Chains A and B, each alone.
Chain A
Amino acid sequence: MSLPARSEERLPIEFAEEEQSLRVTGFWLFLITDLLIFASLFSSYAVYVPMSAGGPTPMGLFHLGPVLIETLALLTSSFTVGVAIWAMRRGQISLLRYALVVTLLLGAVFVGLELHEFVLDVAQGAGWQRSAFLSSFFLLVATHGAHVSFGILWAIALLFQLARHGLTAVTSRKLYTFALYWHFLDIVWVCIFTFVYLIGKVS
C-alpha cells in the first residue's frame, strides 16, 4: 500500500515548508515568555496600586474617553491584521499590503494617543516618580506601548521585504509571526484596559 502523496499546496503558505512551521512554533514560545514578563508587571501594579502617596489615584487620574479610542484603534488594527493573513493565504498580495498599512497606521494612532496621555499626566505632576502606583502604572503601560512601537517598525520592514521578495515561504512565515505578535499585544491591552483603567473606576 502506498502512502498518500505529499500535497504541500493543501497547506497555508506559511506552513508549506517544515522549517518555517517550526519557526512559527518557536515564535509561540517567545510569546509565552513575553506573557510572563507582562504577568510580573501586572503583579507589581496590583501590589502598588493602593500606594498613591497622597498623590493622584486611578479614580481621579484616568479618563476613559481617550482610553476607549486607543482601545478601538488597537481592536480594529487586530482585525485588519487578521484580514491581512486571510488575504495572504489566498495569495491576494495587494489586499495583504493594504491591510498591513492600515494596521500600522492604527498602531501609530494608538501610540500617539498613549504618548499624549502620558504627557498630560506628567504635566499635571502625575509622573512616574510621584508614587509607587504611578511607577508601576507607567512601567506596565509603557512596556506595552514600546512593544506596539516595535511592531510598527517590524511591519514597515516586512512591507519592504514583501515588495522585494514577494510572497514566499519565508516572507509569509514572517508575516504570520508578526500577526501573532500583534494579536498578542491586543490581548495584553484588553487586560490593561480591564485591570488598570476599568477596575480603576470601580469604587
Chain B
Amino acid sequence: MSAAEERDLSESPQEFEQGLRIIDPHFAEERFPWRQVIGFAASLALTIAALLLVRGGVLAPQLLTAALFALAALQVGIQLGVFMHLRESRGPAWHVPLLALGIAIAVGMVGMSIWIMTFKWGVS
C-alpha cells in the first residue's frame, strides 16, 4: 500500500467534540462522591430487602422469585450506570450495543435452560 492510500484513522476534531459531550464535563468539580455514596446505599438497601423477603416468607414462591429477580436487575443497573460509567466513552459508545447483545444471549441461555428443564421432571 502506498503512503497516499493510507488513511488517517484517528478521530477528527468534530469526533473529539462529540466524544466530550458524552462524558460529564463537570467530573472534576464534584467535591464529594455523591453518586457513588447514593449508589452504595441503594445497593445495600436492595440486598437487605431481598434477604428480608426470603426470611419473611410472606410472598408465594413464584411471586417471591419474580421479586428477587427484579431486585437483582435493579442492582445490576446501579453497578453499570453509577459505578461503571456505562455511558461514558470517547467517541461513540460501541460497548453499549455489544453489552446489550451479550446480556440478551446470557439471559436467553439461562432462561431457555430453565424453561427446557421444566419439561423433564420425573424423567431424569
**Hey, which bits of chain A sit against chain B, CB under 8 A?**
3-4, 6-7, 10-12, 15, 18, 21, 24-25, 28-29, 31-33, 35-36, 38-40, 42-44, 46-47, 50-51, 64, 68, 71-72, 75-76, 78-79, 81-83, 85-86, 89-90, 179-180, 183-184, 186-187, 190-191, 193-195, 198-199, 201-203
Are A18 and B10 interface neighbours, CB within 8 A?
Answer: yes
Q: Which of B14-52 contact A (CB under 8 A)?
A: 14, 16-17, 19-20, 23, 25, 27-28, 30, 33, 36-37, 39-40, 43-44, 47, 50-51
Given A21-B90, A79-B39, A83-B36, A190 and B76 touching (CB < 8 A)? yes
8 other contacts beyond A15-B89, A198-B51, with CB at 8 A cut-off? A28-B94, A46-B117, A64-B51, A71-B47, A79-B37, A179-B84, A191-B72, A198-B50
CA–CA, A203 and B57, complex, Å: 10
Are A4 and B13 interface neighbours, CB within 8 A?
Answer: yes
Q: Which residues of A contact B114 (CB under 8 A)?
A: 46
Are A51 and B65 interface neighbours, CB within 8 A?
Answer: no
Are B27 and A89 interface neighbours, CB within 8 A?
Answer: yes
Q: Which residues of B contact A89 (CB under 8 A)?
A: 27-28
Q: Closest A-chain residue to B44, C-beta based?
A: A75
Are B40 and A75 interface neighbours, CB within 8 A?
Answer: yes
Are A29 and B43 interface neighbours, CB within 8 A?
Answer: no
CA–CA, A18 and B27, complex, Å: 19
Given A21-B89, A90-B28, A82 and B33 touching (CB < 8 A)? yes
- At the interface, yes or no: B113 with Cβ under 8 Å from chain A? yes
Given A10-B20, A40-B109, A29 and B98 touching (CB < 8 A)? yes
Q: Which residues of A contact B109 (CB under 8 A)?
A: 36, 39-40, 42-43
Are A25 and B89 interface neighbours, CB within 8 A?
Answer: yes
**Hey, which bits of chain B sit against chain A, CB under 8 A?**
10-11, 13-14, 16-17, 19-20, 23, 25, 27-28, 30, 33, 36-37, 39-40, 43-44, 47, 50-51, 54-55, 61, 64-65, 68-69, 71-72, 75-76, 79-80, 82-85, 88-91, 94-95, 98-99, 101-103, 105-107, 109-110, 113-114, 117, 124
Secondary structure dominating the interface of B: helix
Distance to closest chain A CB from B29 (angstroms): 9
CA–CA, A68 and B50, complex, Å: 11
CA–CA, A189 and B41, complex, Å: 17
Are B68 and A194 interface neighbours, CB within 8 A?
Answer: yes
With beta carbons under 8 angstroms apart, the residue of B11, B37, B54, B55 that contacts A18 is: B11
CA–CA, A95 and B30, complex, Å: 15
Q: Which residues of B contact A36 (CB under 8 A)?
A: 102, 105-106, 109
CA–CA, A180 and B106, complex, Å: 19
Are B36 and A202 interface neighbours, CB within 8 A?
Answer: no
Q: Closest A-chain residue to B74, C-beta based?
A: A190
Q: Which residues of A contact B43 (CB under 8 A)?
A: 75, 78-79, 190
With beta carbons under 8 angstroms apart, the residue of A11, A51, A187 that contacts B20 is: A11
Q: Which residues of B contact A51 (CB under 8 A)?
A: 124
Are A86 and B33 interface neighbours, CB within 8 A?
Answer: yes
Among B84, B107, B113, the one with the most A-chain Cβ atoms within 10 Å of its Cβ is B84
